[in-house]
Structure 1
Amino acid sequence: MLTSGLQHVAAMYAGVVAPPLIVGAAVGLSGTELTFLTGASLFTAGLATFLQTLGIWKIGAKLPFVNGVTFAGVAPMLAIVDTTENKADALPVIFGAIIVAGLLGFAAAPFFSRLVRFFPPVVTGSVITLIGVSLLPVAFGWAQGPNPAAKDYGSTTYLSLAGITLVVVLLLRRFTRGFLKQVAVLVGLVLGTLIAIPFGVTDFSPVQEADIVGFPSPFHFGAPQFALAAIISMCVVMLVSMTESTADMLALGEIVERPADEKTIAAGLRADTLGSAISPLFNGFMCSAFAQNIGLVAMTRIRSRFVVAAGGGFLVLMGLSPVAASLISVVPRPVLGGAGVVLFGSVAASGIQTLVKAGLEKDNNVLIVAVSLAVGIIPITKPDFYHAFPETAQIILDSGISTGCVAAVLLNVVFNHLGRGRDADEVTAPMEPGKEISGSASAKAAHVH
C-alpha cells in the first residue's frame, strides 16, 4: 500500500509543484519563500486527498482519487498578480478569492451533480478519451527537458532518457508479476533517475538545501483580501474545475467498475470545493482531481482508495518536511515524461473502451464523438485559437476537457433526447435479450428523457 501510494505521489508531484513555482516567481518570492509555498501546496493537496478518498459525512467520493493544485487557475492568478499594484498583496488577494469560490462551489455541488444524467457512455467515453489526449502533450513536454528556453531542450539526451524509462516500465509490465508489476512506474522512475546521473541531468541540490522540518503556518503571506474582480475570476475557474472533476469521477468510476452516480459526484465535488476553501488557510491554492492518477489506476488495476489515501499521507508529510518533498523533485523531467506516456495513454485507452459500449453503429453517436473530440483537441493543436476572446472566456475555452465535455453533453441532448420520448436508449449499446437495465449511472442516463 505504501509503495503504491508513493507511486501516485510520483505521478502527480510535478503537477502539484508547478503552479506555486510559477505564481511565486511572478510575485517575486525568494528561494526560501518559494520552497515554503511549494511545501504548502503539497500539504493542502494531501488534506484534499484525504477528504476525497476517506470522506467525512457527505464529503468525498470515496474513490481512489488524488487531489492537488489545479493548473486551470494559473493564468487568472498571474493576471491577478499583474493587476495588483503592491505585489505583497497579490497572494492574499488570490487566497481570498479562492476561499469565496470554494465556499460557493461547495453550496452549488449538489445542483451541479445533477448533470450526471446527461453523461451516458457516448459522452463519458469522449470526455475520458479527451482527458488522456489532453495530458499527453504534458508528458511530451516533460520528455524534452526542464526548461523550454534552454538550448538543449528536446536534445537526444533528454529524449533518450524518456525512451529508456518508457521501455523499462513496459518490460516490467510485460515480464514481471505480482508486486513488481504493480509498482512498475515507480521502479521505472527510480531506474530512470539513476541512469540520468552520469548525464548530469539529475540535480540533488534541492535535497541538500532543504530543511528537515517545516510547518505551513496559517496566513504566512498575510490575511486574505477580498477583491471582486479576483473573486469573479476564480469563480469561473471553479466552474471549470468542477466540470473537469465531474468528468474525471465518471472516468474513474468506469475504470474501477463502480459508476459514479449523482450522489457520488456531489460528494466528490464537495471534497474538491471544501479542500479549495481550506487550502488558502495554509497558503495553498485551488484543489481539483488529478487526471494523470486515473491512468495509474487503469494501468496497475489497484483500485483501493486506501492506497491513494496513503499517497495523501505522503503529501502531508512532504508538506511538513521540505527535505522529504525535495526527494521526489530529484526525478528529472524527461524521466517523468517517459512514465507519463504510459499513464496518460492509459486514460485515453480507457475512454476508447467506454466508447465501444456507446453504440457507435448509430450515426448520431458517431457525430457526437467526432465533433466533441474535434472541439476538445483545438486548444492542444492550436493553443492561440481563442486569442481574440476575452480573458475570462479563454480560461474556459483553453481547457479542451471542458469544451469537449460541454460539446458532448449538448450534442447528446440535441441528438438523443429532444423530441425522442422514451426511445432515448439509442444513446447506449442495445441490451442483451432478457437483461434488465443496469442500475449504473450510465444506464440510468441513457433512459432519462
Structure 2
Amino acid sequence: MNPANEFRLPDLGEGLTDAELVRWSVAEGDTVELDQVIAEVETAKALVELPSPFAGTVLALLAEPGTIVEVGAPLIRIGEPGAGDSPVAAATPAAEAPDHPATLVGYGPTAAPASRRRRRRAMPAPGSPDLERARPDAKPSARRLAHELGIDLSDVQGTGFGGAITPEDVRAHDVPRETAPPEEAPAHRETRTPIRGVRRRTADAVTRSAFTAPHVTEFVTVDVSATMDLIDRLRASPAFAGLEPTPLPLVAKVLLVALREHPSLNSSWDEEHQEIVTKHYVNLGIATATSRGLLVPSVKDANLMSLLELTRAIHQLVETARAGRCTPADLSGGTITITNVGVFGVDTGTPILSPGEAAILCLGAIAPRPWVVEGEVAVRSVTTLGLSFDHRLVDGEQGSRFLADIAATLTDPLTLL
C-alpha cells in the first residue's frame, strides 16, 4: 500500500513564522491534482493560496479554518484511500537541506523572533464528531469577519442558504455583545479582538519606527485650485478613461519630481555601517486602509513612470491591497510613502515613518476656503500637507525646501511640464 503524504505549512518567506488558515478549497474524500490550490492562508502581509505538492485523495484535513498554523506544522494528508495509517512522507521545509529552506513566496526567511501566537483551541481528531461540531457552515467572508471581531462562529445563528452563516449574521451577533445591559450580559460589555496578521505587524512597525527614528513633522497650507482644475481635465481625457483620476496620483507625481532636487528624502539609515544610503530609484509606498488593517504596498520604480502610468499603477495596487491579494514583494522595498487622510475629511496629520524610510507625505482634505488672491478674498480649493522626516537623514532646511517645492507645484501644476 502506498503511504500517505503529509503536507506541512511551507516557509512563506519574509521572516514569517506562522499563518492563519482562512479556508479550505478541498474536503476529505476529494481528489486533488498536482499544484491544485487546496487552501488559502493569511500571513502578516498577504493572503496566500497554497498549491498541493501531491496528487491523490484527501485523507484528512489537519487544521481548522481560523487557527494559527506554524511553519512546518501539518496541514493535510493526501494519498490513496485506506492509506491514512501508513507511514507518512512529509512535505515540509524541515525536509530540505538547512542551507536551502523551501520558500513558497517572498525572498526567503529572515531573522525574526519566534512567534508568540497561540491557537484558539485544540484541534479535534480528524473524523470525530467534535470536529464536525467545531466547523460551523459559514462563508469565507463570514469566517474572516468573525475572526476580526473575536466571535466564535459556533455561537452564531446562520440565515443563509441551508443555514450557512453570512457576514450579516456575524454583524448582527456582534451588536448585543457591545450593547447588552450590564445586568443581562455583564461579560459582553467589552469586545476583545486578538491582534494578529496585518494589525500586529503594523503595530510592531510603527512602534519600532517611532522609537528608533527621530521624527520631525512640518505643515504647509496650499491653494490647489489649479490642481483640481487639471484633475477635472484629466477625468475628461480619453487616456484616463476608467481610472477616475483623484488628487493622490497627481500629488504623488509632484512628490516624485521634487525628489530629483532633494534626494536626501529618498534615503535610509544603515545602523550597522553608520552610513546614509541614498536611493537612485523610488519605490513609492501608498498607505492603504483595508479590512485587514493598514497596508503600505509600493509602486516599484515610480520615478520612471508618466502621470498616466503612475495613476494606473496606484489604482491597481490599491485594488489589490483591498482585495487582500498583495504579495510580500508588493509590501516591501518602499523608499518613501504618501498617505491620504483627506478621503476621511481630515485636514492633515503627523504620519509615522514606514521603517527604513526617510520621509512620508500626508495629504489632507481638499475643501473650499477663503483665500487672498491678488489682494482680494476669494473662495479657493485649499489643502494642508504634512511631512514627517527622519532628522538623522534630513535636516530642517532640506525638509522645508522639499515641502515648499511640492506646495509651489501644486499651486501651479503646469510647472510639471
Bigger-Rg structure (1/2) = 2
Identify the TM-score tier after normalising by the shorter chain: under 0.3
Question: Greater relative contact order: 1 or 2 (C-alpha under 8 angstroms, separation 6 or more)?
Answer: 1
The structure richer in helix per residue is 1
TM-score by length of 2: 0.27
Tell me the TM-score normalized by structure 1.
0.25
Higher strand share: 2
